[in-house]
């Protein structure tokens, strides 16, 4: 065999080993991820953990709650959407200590929010909050959280109104809860109501993940409102000039806008080929875009 053939054979074998090495690395990473997630929750039976914990159940609950926060935070940091262990962790934690309020307040948010911001399981969020209310009937904030889930994530305005109204009966509750219950019952899908509720969450929560989530929703709701106003101006432009604008600068030049509008992050809005306002292709808000209440 010639030296060229030896060299070719050597390179072929070398590339083959490199490929196998790379494949094994990927397999090891995937296996370590599975092992790490399994380590997050060795025991899934809440009754079993409760029985084993004896009088130390509240302490074990604190440990499990720490696991919940770490699990959810790591998933968010790594942009992973598989949150299958979230409910088992919350289930165990709430059974170990039914009076641990952060489990209900923040756990319901983690569960109910749509992917990729949460697990997309508002049904489990409702189950968790109802469990909390059975154990803590005087905790009026749980009614507020329950109404929040029904309103935003399940679009069940009748149940949202009922939850807020029931919570408003507590003398310590927010004074506006009864009025908000009536407003939701009357208007249902309202951007104004959404802004009010998300702003309240942003102002009152101390959890950084929930605060960031509330801020993003407020930014998206503002974008939805901006788009509606721009479309109204585009309609007026069409009446004046017989065609819809395709560039925002046309609205500025016509005097309908003083300057090109920007979203909450400073990115200018754009117009589609049909002359409808859209988020800029480069804005980070586009990745988190939701159909805000009141949008079509």
Identify the pLDDT of residue 209: 78
Residues 96 and 182 in one domain: yes
CB atoms within 10 A of CB 31: 10
Q: Is the peptide bond before 116 cis (omega within 30 degrees of 0)?
A: yes
Q: pTM value?
A: 0.62
CA gap 215, 208 in Å, rounded: 10
How far is Cα of residue 31 from the mean position of the Cα atoms in its chain? 28
CA gap 150, 230 in Å, rounded: 30
Residues 145 and 219 in one domain: no
Which CATH number does the domain housing residue 162 bear? 1.25.40.10
Listing DSSP states for 57-87 in one string gives: HHHHHHHHHHHHHHHHHHHHHTT----TTHH
DSSP strand pairing (277-278 vs 270-271): antiparallel
Q: What is the pLDDT of residues 253-271, one digit of tens each?
A: 999 999 999 999 999 999 9
In a domain, 43, yes or no: yes
Residues 139 and 72 in one domain: yes
In a domain, 24, yes or no: no
Q: What is the pLDDT of residues 95-153, one digit of tens each?
A: 989 999 999 999 999 999 888 888 999 999 999 999 999 999 999 999 999 999 999 99
């Amino acid at each position: 065999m010639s030296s060229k053939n030896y060299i070719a054979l050597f390179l072929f074998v070398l590339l083959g080993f490199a490929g196998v090495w790379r494949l094994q690395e990927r397999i090891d990473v995937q296996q370590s991820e599975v092992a790490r997630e399994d380590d997050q929750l060795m025991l899934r039976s809440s009754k079993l953990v409760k029985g084993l914990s004896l009088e130390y159940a509240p302490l074990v609950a604190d440990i499990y709650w720490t696991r919940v926060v770490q699990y959810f935070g790591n998933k968010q940091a790594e942009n992973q959407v598989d949150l299958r262990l979230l409910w088992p962790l919350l289930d165990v934690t709430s059974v170990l200590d039914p009076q641990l309020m952060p489990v209900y307040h923040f756990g319901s948010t983690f569960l109910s929010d749509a992917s990729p911001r949460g697990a997309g399981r508002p049904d489990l969020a409702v189950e968790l909050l109802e469990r909390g209310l059975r154990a803590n009937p005087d905790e009026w904030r749980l009614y507020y959280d329950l109404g929040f889930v029904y309103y935003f994530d399940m679009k069940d305005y009748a149940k949202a109104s009922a939850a807020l109204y029931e919570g408003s009966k507590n003398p310590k509750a927010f004074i506006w809860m009864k009025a908000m219950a009536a407003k939701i019952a009357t208007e249902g899908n309202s951007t104004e109501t959404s802004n009010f509720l998300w702003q309240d969450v942003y102002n009152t929560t101390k959890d950084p993940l929930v605060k960031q989530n509330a801020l993003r929703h407020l930014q998206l709701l503002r974008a939805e409102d901006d788009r509606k106003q721009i479309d109204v101006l585009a309609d007026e432009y069409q009446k004046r000039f017989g065609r819809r604008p395709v560039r925002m600068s046309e609205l500025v030049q016509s005097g309908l806008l003083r300057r090109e509008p920007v979203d909450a992050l400073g990115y200018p809005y754009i117009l589609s080929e049909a002359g409808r306002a859209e988020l800029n292709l480069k804005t980070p808000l586009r990745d988190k875009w939701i159909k805000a209440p009141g949008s079509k």
